[in-house]
Amino acid sequence: MKLELPYWTSHHNMILYSLLYFCEQNDQVFDVSFNAKIATGGAILYSNKQMIFLDYSDNMLFIDNPEKYDFYFKRSLLFQDYKENVHPLNLQVNFSYKALKLLMKFNFKDLINKTNRTEIVRAMDYFNLVTNLSHNAMDVRSFPKKAADNNGKIIFHSRLWNPDNNADLDEKIRRQSQNEFRIEACRIIKSNFKNVSVGIFPDELAKKIAPELLLDIKSTSKKEYFKSLRNADIGIADDGLKDTPGWKIGEYLLFGKAVVTTPLNTIVDDFKEHINFEKVQNRSAYSELPEKIEYLLSGKRYLEVAENNLKWSESYLHPKNYISRILTITKNTL
């Protein structure tokens, strides 16, 4: 088995660390190389004489042609595009597994390649002193093994995107709608519930339009955020870039949390309303959040949903099954 990447970005952490885990568990050689001809956000997995393209783009559009490959797995996959050799990658999470060991697997020329620099620095930042996204801070070995009860605590840590920083009119409108949901969601949760951890990343835009919601900058590192997440029960999620599910919802699932989200516009296998999540009608329906949260709080339903999500994430997101699931699909659809 061999994995090819265009270069190492945070979009590739899930597949890289899952491959390391898989190779350890199955006594296989970890073989990764870089090929600049591969589309950014993509990767190619070679297994059993098959070429398997992995599309980790936020965009619903395909970054390569599925006809070129035996199988094409896509993260942000629309229902109408689920056909022939195309399959969903489901949700994505930025996690790690034995980061320093992974670094030792790379060739020296790849370690000093400037295109890989950001993730290499994060992987080396063992004590979370240099970056806000230390790979050691997001090692799956430290994730919860069972759901805990924190008395129904609600969490929603988010950030804003400045509409003025993009020239495209449609993107400006999308960002305005996204920002409105995130701000109003924080406000309505704070006004209706006491056991909460909600707020907005304290950049200049947030300071200007939502100064009462600013998070402490120290709490925004991955290490500190995961501490907050561990102590919560219900996570609020909305679409990320390109109106597709962001990484936050996957983090909620791996940490065993119940979820209230905006509608999911892409395929997520076996992920069901009232079993894995509750949803509001649309991104403008933040006024529905208290009702959805109260439903989960009633009789502590959030604990049952949390257990469901731990099981789901183990099957679809955790590195113990991530590669195996892909290989099973390629084997069973020959």
pLDDT at 243: 85
Half-sphere CA count of 153, side-chain side, radius 13 A: 15
CB of 125 closer than 8 Å to CB of 134: yes
Residue 177 burial (C-beta neighbours within 10 Å; 0-12, 13-18, 19+): middle
pLDDT tens per residue, range 98-155: 999 999 999 999 999 999 999 999 999 999 999 999 999 999 999 999 999 999 999 9
pLDDT, residue 332, reads 86
Report the C-alpha gap between 188 and 182 in whole angstroms.
Answer: 10
Contact yes or no for 147/304 (Cβ under 8 A) = no
pLDDT value for 100: 97
Selection from 39, 60, 54 nearest residue 242 by Cα? 60
- The residues, ordered by sequence, that sit 6+ positions from 272 with a Cβ below 8 Å of its Cβ are none
Q: What φ, ψ does residue 127 adopt, rounded to 5°?
A: -100, 15
Instruction: Give the pLDDT score at 240.
Output: 86
Q: Which domains does the chain have, with CATH numbers?
A: 2-143+318-332 (no CATH), 154-315 (3.40.50.2000)
Q: pTM for the complete prediction?
A: 0.96
C-alpha 27/C-alpha 254 separation (Å) is 25
pLDDT of residue 334: 61
pLDDT at 217: 94
pLDDT for 213 equals: 98
* Strand blocks (E) in the chain: 2-5, 32-34, 42-47, 50-55, 71-74, 86-88, 154-158, 196-200, 234-237, 258-261, 278-279
pLDDT at 92: 95
Question: Average pLDDT for consecutive 10-residue bins of the chain (334 residues)?
Answer: 97 98 97 97 97 96 98 97 96 97 96 97 94 96 96 98 93 94 98 98 98 96 96 96 90 98 96 98 97 99 98 98 97 79
